[in-house]
Every structure is written in C-alpha cells, then in structure tokens.
Amino acid sequence: MNKNLKLENQLCFPVYALSRQITNLYRPYLDEFGLTYPQYLVLLVLWENETVTVKRLGELLWLDSGTLTPLLKRMEANGVVERKRSSKDERIVDVLLTDKGKKLEAQAEKIPLAIKKELKMSDEQLIKLRKKIYKILNIAGKCDVEE
C-alpha cells in the first residue's frame, strides 16, 4: 500500500475529526440556549455587527445560501433574528438581532472561557494554533483574516 494513502498520513482527517470534536465541546453550552453550532456562529457575527446582509453573513461563515437560508428561517422562528429587505435595495436582505438575540450575548459570554478550560491550553497556545489554521486557510485562498 502507498504510504501517502494511509489515513494516519492525511491532513484532512485530523482536521475533520478536530472540527467535530470542537463542535461537540460547544454542544452542551449551546443546548442551554437552544442553539446549534451554526446558529451560534451567526450570533457571533451579529453580536459584533448587529446588522449584516445575508450575502455578507454567508461570506464570513463560508456558508452558501442553500445552507444559510433555512438556518436563518429557524433562528427567525425562534425569535433570535429578524430578516428585512434593505430600504436602499430590495434585492438585499439584512439580518438583525432581536431583543432575545441581544440578551443571549450576555449569557453566552461564559462559553469561550469554558471551551478554553476544557482544551487545557494557554492563551498563547490557542493564539498560535489559530494563526496556523488561518495561515492554511489563507494559502487555500479561502480566508482574508490576518495571521
């Protein structure tokens, strides 16, 4: 067998497995708020920006409209976000936080600290890891985040 085709020699597998494990670490905290991990990511963007277009949200989260639209519909049905046509251009749909969505921010503040504690990594280690991941993403041409 070609050693390059062994699972243990693949970059994709540990990245995939890590993604699943990280998402699983978040699950119990997000369950308290009735949120899924992708919904949490949407809220992170909105807590930072308060209003964002659906198009920009998709770009920031690397989600296509086929994934993002049903996600936003569920969040709107749960009263966390609101979608509105832009007053400047009806083709543009803005996503806004509701009062309920804004209130979740204060409750969610504990999540990053809890995850860091579970990972048993220092701030420096986490920063280095994040920089390495962003470097790979930038090389792949998929990310415009500074290292």
Residue 14's CATH number: 1.10.10.10
**How does pLDDT run across 30-43, given as a tens digit for each residue?**
999 999 999 999 99
In a domain, 42, yes or no: yes
Torsion angles phi and psi, residue 90, rounded to 5: -65, -15
Domain containing 108 equals: 9-138
| 144 part of a folded domain | no
Indicate the number of domains in the chain: 1
pLDDT of 81 reads 97
- Phi first, then psi: give them for residue 34, nearest 5 degrees: 70, 30
Q: Is residue 15 part of a domain?
A: yes
DSSP string, 5-35: GSGGG-SHHHHHHHHHHHHHHHHHHHHTTT-
Helical axes 99-108 vs 37-49, angle rounded to 10°? 100
Q: Would 84 be classed as within a structural domain?
A: yes
Return the DSSP state at 4.
G
pLDDT in tens, 89-136: 889 999 999 999 999 999 999 999 999 999 999 999 999 999 999 888
Residue 123 lies in a domain: yes
Does 64 reside within a domain? yes
Q: Domain for residue 91, yes or no? A: yes
pLDDT at 50: 83
Residues of the chain with pLDDT > 90, as a percent, come to 80
Q: Does residue 1 belong to any structural domain of this protein?
A: no
